[in-house]
């Protein structure tokens, strides 16, 4: 056994298990299984051209050495990113804890109550600091949250505004540059006309439906927007405000000024800068707009016993259901980062946040006074944390960089300095010394921070916030550590058992891949730091792009999209730009098979495309003749096809090359959804099947953790045709020579977690990556062989094989009174998270085991499903007290004095022998979804207050 081979640790089945697995499946070898699964004409002829794999030890040494090429300067750049202190108790117990970072999106609420409570804390923090009525469970970053705000305001226009096609949106010139770029990208396909200007001279014409303000402005100026918002309201113009979350501790909240939407980032609430992400964006609005709100909302409901229980609210808003009628394609959140930001608020409480905000403000005022004495004058009339000074920028920059300090240089004589939580008196003296040297003057040393605020009375917050117990009871480390542990125990994560979610690829997030995220050389770099200070990052990111090019067979990659749905959007926007560059503006038709992921039509709608749905056959494959007919019908308007491969039904369709040829023959391009890439890597690739662009879910195939519903990374890989159109950034130039505007805020999106995928590829190498794919297919087909006697498998390939996932048809069990939801809830009693429920086909379970699960775990899961099948057989519609209908069974239920059910406590809680060794207890009974939607509560107030 090669103890230093990473692949050995990553792959679940042992060599000694293989013959048993082959025999169960009915093949002689792994090669035979792969031959029977993947059409031969799309198999790769050569191994992936990647460097030899590193051992874990070699990789960690390599990444440490590479990290030394990043220069961690004192950063006062600002522009929405600030050095922050990650409390050690949060870093150790959440950020570095697989109990938190390996959890899945809380669709199964009964085994996700801990995460749901943590997100409720986050939502409460956002609502109370912004002064708004409702907040969501986070968005991807500030720029994309602002774009979602613009889309919401477009959606909630008055009837007359819609009838008259009122389409102008005002954006203050104080907006962050990266936010403006993302707004430009999003506005174009919607037909929104952006007008950028000075809010003080805005004319409030009836041509405008909305406006976006920055609070404080990009270089620190704080404006009183109450008058602007009041005047906008009288002219039927709704207002969104992008606000710095820490400033709202000290400044009047936008909600109190009458804002309709408030967005921003919670990065400075204890999240490292990480060269741009991941960070939790926030989105808060009015209750009346809840049905148009993007993303997820965590709401308070009750369980079957009437006890308080949390769940994801307003599920019908999901783009999977609305498809092309969705107002957003957002499919994810930044849950792990939102949990950390919420815990930061819990740990510090209102008084602690006040202390931090006061210290940051005092650092800015103290420095201003000292610089004024030097004749370096500050020009903002009111500021929170960022000052704007007049000085010789070139001279200051040369001195500052020698002292490892970064300011933001607005122009040759204007410098912006943004203070932060980490700024000390010694740092202030260093800043003053830099300007003293630049002006040739001497200065006295500062010993303490100034006490006076320069904010006028009308700008200062009067209202209280975070008065709920949770923000006032956990201020010692032992208290917070126990609170975090209490919540963690309520959640089922990969550190307990396998999570076999089809299409979601919940694979191992290896510790060696995760460790570098805590290294200061990697997590402390500002995304707009001079490029020469980020040599380690640029080397790693460019290498990852090359590795992904090799895996996909393409020639260019952008890492900017920070979710899979954003990757879809980026790919479609690149296709759109390609057609327009050739004068083919009329090519707007996007063909999408009816079996596609729900985000596909939603993304196409976001990209301004006309969606035509094509048929699938009874076997679940694309109906080639219908596709051909549609492609010919729309050949003059055809933009692209969106196709998932292997299909959403878990099958390698043999007609794929014919399908892509049809599209190309009719002038379109092919977008491949990379959700199922875990069945392709090393065996086939998007270029070989004839795609032009694909997105990859790095949080699936390439081992970034799901983090309870995010972070995600959704880069797109493209062929030569599309390389020129890869997106750029207004501050740091990236992308192609005909680049589209920004897809997300940071130049490289969530750069910090790209380290995980880089490590995954470096340590597996070509053979390891290919074997990972083979073992994913092996594990899926082993489970299929074990389960198909008990559950009908809905679709199979031409030789009877599944790809890396399969769909079990549970619809017939309704004759026994059992729905697929009952099976999902009963699996909790067996210690498992349910597979994907009712997607892509209602009444089914889609199972994907991944390559990292060992034979014993596969068998445990199969045993559980087989045992449940026997319970289904013993059920009837007349049986009201059914073991499945009552699932899940909580500890309180099983230990109650009274037991009135027609089955034993042991059958309820310990139906199979293995469960006793490692019992996981759901903490609430089945959650009442409808109640939670009828009585929407999404903050920490006790439920009694709403009853």
Alpha-carbon distance 762 to 51, whole Å?
Answer: 7
Contact 806, 503 (CB under 8 A): no
Half-sphere exposure of 407 (CA within 13 A, CB side): 34
Can you give the pLDDT at residue 454? 81
**pLDDT tens-digit profile of 623-649?**
999 999 999 999 999 999 999 999 988
If you average pLDDT over every residue of the chain, what do you get?
95
Model confidence at 325: pLDDT above 50: yes
Backbone dihedral angles phi then psi of residue 555, each to the nearest 5 degrees: -115, -10
Average pLDDT rounded to a whole number, residues 58-87: 98
Hey, CA dihedral for 496, 514, 835, 552, is it positive or negative? negative
**pLDDT tens-digit profile of 88-131?**
999 999 999 999 999 999 999 999 999 999 999 999 999 999 99
Model confidence at 326: pLDDT above 90: no
Peptide bond into 278 cis (omega under 30): yes
Contact 38, 650 (CB under 8 A): no
Half-sphere exposure of 790 (CA within 13 A, CB side): 17
Alpha-carbon distance 861 to 845, whole Å?
Answer: 13
Highest mean pLDDT (candidates 17-31, 593-607, 927-941)? 17-31
Alpha-carbon distance 509 to 871, whole Å?
Answer: 34
Alpha-carbon distance 279 to 267, whole Å?
Answer: 5
Assign 945 a pLDDT band (cuts: 50, 70, 90). very low
Can you give the pLDDT at residue 321? 63
Assign 917 a pLDDT band (cuts: 50, 70, 90). very high
Beta pairing class for 589-593 and 610-614? parallel
Alpha-carbon distance 740 to 186, whole Å?
Answer: 11
Residue ranges in 408-510 assigned as alpha helix (H): 425-439, 477-488
Alpha-carbon distance 585 to 582, whole Å?
Answer: 8
Identify which of 655, 767, 529 has the alpha carbon closest to the alpha carbon of residue 5: 767
Model confidence at 670: pLDDT above 60: yes
Average pLDDT rounded to a whole number, residues 247-270: 98
Assign 946 a pLDDT band (cuts: 50, 70, 90). very low
Model confidence at 417: pLDDT above 70: yes
Lowest average pLDDT, out of 235-239, 394-398, 643-647, goes to 643-647
Buried b (16+ CB within 10 A) or exposed e, 455-478: beeebebeeebbebebbeebeeee
Counting Cβ atoms within 10 Å, is residue 316 exposed (0-12), middle (13-18) or buried (19+)?
A: exposed
* Strand, coil or helix: 123: helix
Backbone dihedral angles phi then psi of residue 608, each to the nearest 5 degrees: 75, 25
Lowest average pLDDT, out of 140-154, 305-319, 379-393, 530-544, goes to 305-319
Peptide bond into 796 cis (omega under 30): no
Angle (deg, nearest 10), helices 18-25 and 30-37: 40
Assign 943 a pLDDT band (cuts: 50, 70, 90). very low
Q: 81 has which bridge partners?
A: 78
Average pLDDT rounded to a whole number, residues 849-870: 98
Can you give the pLDDT at residue 114? 98
**pLDDT tens-digit profile of 559-585?**
999 999 999 999 999 999 999 999 999
Residue ranges in 668-816 assigned as alpha helix (H): 686-689, 751-787
For 461-467, which contacts have Cβ atoms below 8 Å and span 24 or more sequence positions? Answer: 461/248, 461/249, 461/250, 461/251, 461/252, 461/253, 462/252, 463/131, 463/253, 463/256, 464/350, 465/128, 465/129, 465/249, 465/350, 466/124, 466/125, 466/128, 466/345, 466/349, 466/350, 466/353, 467/350
Residue ranges in 489-563 assigned as alpha helix (H): 511-514, 520-523, 535-552
**pLDDT tens-digit profile of 158-190?**
999 999 999 999 999 999 999 999 999 999 999
633-635-638 Cα angle (round to 5): 110
Q: 643 has which bridge partners?
A: 672
Counting Cβ atoms within 10 Å, is residue 915 exposed (0-12), middle (13-18) or buried (19+)?
A: middle
Helix (H) or strand (E) holding 342: helix 335-373
Assign 674 a pLDDT band (cuts: 50, 70, 90). very high
Q: 193 has which bridge partners?
A: 168
Model confidence at 317: pLDDT above 60: no
Model confidence at 298: pLDDT above 80: yes
Confidence (pTM): 0.97
Model confidence at 941: pLDDT above 70: no
Can you give the pLDDT at residue 316? 47
Can you give the pLDDT at residue 947? 39
Identify which of 805, 760, 765 has the alpha carbon closest to the alpha carbon of residue 782: 805
Backbone dihedral angles phi then psi of residue 78, each to the nearest 5 degrees: 70, -130
Can you give the pLDDT at residue 319? 57
Average pLDDT rounded to a whole number, residues 437-444: 93
Contact 737, 548 (CB under 8 A): no
Assign 929 a pLDDT band (cuts: 50, 70, 90). confident
* Strand, coil or helix: 526: coil
**pLDDT tens-digit profile of 734-749?**
999 999 999 999 999 9
C-alpha pair distances (Å), 741 with each of 183, 257, 289, 304: 9, 32, 28, 49
């Amino acid at each position: 056994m090669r103890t230093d081979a990473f692949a050995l640790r990553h792959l679940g089945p042992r060599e000694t298990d293989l013959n048993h697995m082959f025999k169960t499946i009915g093949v002689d070898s792994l090669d035979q299984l792969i031959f029977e699964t993947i059409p031969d004409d799309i198999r790769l002829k050569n191994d992936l051209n990647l460097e030899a794999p590193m051992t874990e030890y070699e990789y960690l040494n390599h990444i440490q050495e590479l990290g030394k090429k990043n220069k961690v300067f004192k950063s006062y750049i600002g522009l929405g990113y600030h050095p922050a202190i990650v409390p050690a108790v949060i870093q150790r117990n959440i950020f570095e804890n697989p109990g938190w970072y390996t959890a899945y999106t809380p669709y199964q609420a009964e085994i996700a109550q801990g995460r749901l409570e943590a997100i409720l804390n986050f939502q409460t923090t956002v609502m109370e600091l912004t002064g708004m009525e409702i907040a969501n469970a986070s968005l991807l970053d500030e720029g994309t949250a602002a774009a979602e705000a613009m889309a919401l305001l477009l959606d909630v226009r008055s009837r007359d505004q819609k009838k008259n096609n009122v389409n102008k949106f005002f954006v203050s010139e104080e907006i962050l540059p990266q936010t403006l770029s993302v707004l430009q990208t999003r506005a174009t396909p919607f037909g929104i006309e952006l007008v950028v200007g000075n809010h003080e001279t805005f004319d409030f014409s009836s041509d405008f439906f909305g406006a976006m303000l920055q609070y404080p402005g990009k270089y620190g100026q704080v404006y009183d927007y109450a008058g602007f918002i009041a005047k906008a309201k009288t002219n039927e113009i709704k207002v969104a405000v992008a606000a710095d979350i820490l400033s709202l501790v000290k400044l009047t909240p936008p909600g109190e000024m009458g804002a309709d939407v408030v967005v921003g980032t919670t990065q400075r609430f204890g999240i490292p800068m990480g060269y741009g992400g991941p960070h939790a964006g926030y989105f808060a609005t009015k209750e009346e707009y809840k049905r148009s709100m993007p993303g997820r909302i965590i709401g308070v409901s009750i369980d079957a016993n009437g006890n308080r229980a949390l769940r994801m609210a307003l599920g019908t808003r999901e783009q999977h259901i609305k498809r092309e009628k969705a107002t957003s394609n957002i499919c994810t959140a930044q849950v792990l980062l939102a949990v950390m930001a919420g815990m930061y608020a819990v740990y510090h409480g209102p008084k602690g946040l006040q202390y931090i905000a006061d210290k940051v403000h005092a650092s800015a005022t103290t420095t201003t006074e000292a610089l004024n004495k030097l004749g370096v004058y500050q020009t903002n009339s009111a500021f929170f944390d960022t000052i704007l000074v007049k000085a010789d920028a070139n001279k200051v920059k040369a001195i500052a960089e020698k002292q490892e300090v970064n300011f933001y240089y607005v122009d040759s004589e204007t410098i912006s300095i943004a203070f932060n939580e980490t700024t000390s008196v010694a740092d202030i003296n260093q800043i003053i010394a830099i300007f003293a040297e630049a002006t040739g003057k001497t200065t006295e040393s500062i010993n303490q921070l100034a006490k006076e605020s320069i904010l006028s009375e009308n700008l200062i917050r009067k209202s209280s916030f975070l008065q709920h117990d949770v923000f006032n009871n956990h201020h010692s480390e032992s208290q917070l550590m126990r609170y975090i542990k209490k919540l963690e125990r309520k959640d089922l994560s990969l550190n307990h058992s396998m999570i076999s979610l089809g299409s979601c690829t919940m694979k191992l997030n290896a510790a060696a891949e995760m460790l570098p995220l805590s290294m200061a050389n990697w997590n402390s770099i500002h995304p707009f730091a001079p490029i020469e200070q980020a040599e380690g990052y640029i080397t790693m990111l460019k290498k990852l792009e090359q590795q992904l090019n090799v895996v996909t067979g393409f020639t260019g990659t952008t890492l900017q999209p920070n979710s899979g749905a954003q990757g879809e959007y980026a790919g479609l926007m690149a296709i759109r730009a390609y057609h327009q560059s050739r004068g083919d503006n009329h090519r707007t038709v996007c063909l999408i098979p009816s079996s596609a992921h729900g985000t596909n039509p939603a993304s196409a709608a976001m990209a301004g495309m006309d969606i035509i749905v094509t048929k699938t056959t009874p076997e679940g494959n694309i109906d080639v003749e219908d596709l051909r007919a549609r492609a010919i019908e729309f050949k003059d308007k055809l933009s692209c096809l969106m196709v998932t491969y292997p299909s959403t039904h878990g099958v390698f369709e043999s007609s794929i090359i014919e399908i892509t040829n049809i599209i190309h023959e009719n002038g379109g391009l092919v977008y491949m959804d990379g959700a199922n890439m875990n069945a392709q890597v090393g065996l086939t690739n998007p270029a070989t099947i004839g795609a032009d662009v694909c997105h990859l879910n790095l949080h699936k195939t390439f081992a970034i953790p799901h983090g309870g519903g995010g972070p995600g990374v959704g880069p797109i890989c493209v062929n030569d045709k599309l390389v020129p159109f890869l997106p750029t950034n207004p501050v740091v130039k990236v992308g192609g020579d005909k680049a589209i505007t920004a897809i997300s805020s940071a130049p490289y999106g969530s750069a910090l977690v790209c380290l995980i995928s880089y490590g995954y590829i470096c340590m597996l190498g070509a053979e390891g990556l290919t074997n990972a794919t083979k073992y994913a297919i092996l594990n899926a087909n082993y489970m299929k062989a074990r389960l198909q006697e008990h559950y009908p498998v809905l679709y199979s390939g031409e030789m009877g094989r599944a790809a890396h996932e399969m769909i079990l048809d549970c619809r017939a069990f309704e004759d026994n009174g059992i729905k697929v939801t009952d099976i999902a809830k009963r699996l909790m009693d067996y210690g498992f998270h349910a597979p994907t429920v009712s997607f892509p086909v209602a009444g089914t379970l889609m199972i994907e085991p991944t390559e990292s699960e060992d034979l014993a775990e596969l068998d445990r899961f199969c045993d559980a499903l087989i045992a449940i099948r026997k319970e289904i057989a013993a059920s009837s519609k007349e049986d009201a007290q059914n073991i499945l209908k009552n699932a899940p069974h909580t500890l309180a239920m099983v230990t109650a004095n009274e037991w009135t059910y027609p089955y034993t406590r042991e059958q309820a809680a310990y139906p199979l022998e293995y469960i006793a060794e490692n019992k996981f207890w759901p903490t609430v009974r089945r959650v009442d979804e409808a109640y939670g939607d009828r009585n929407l509560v999404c903050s920490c107030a006790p439920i009694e207050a709403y009853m």
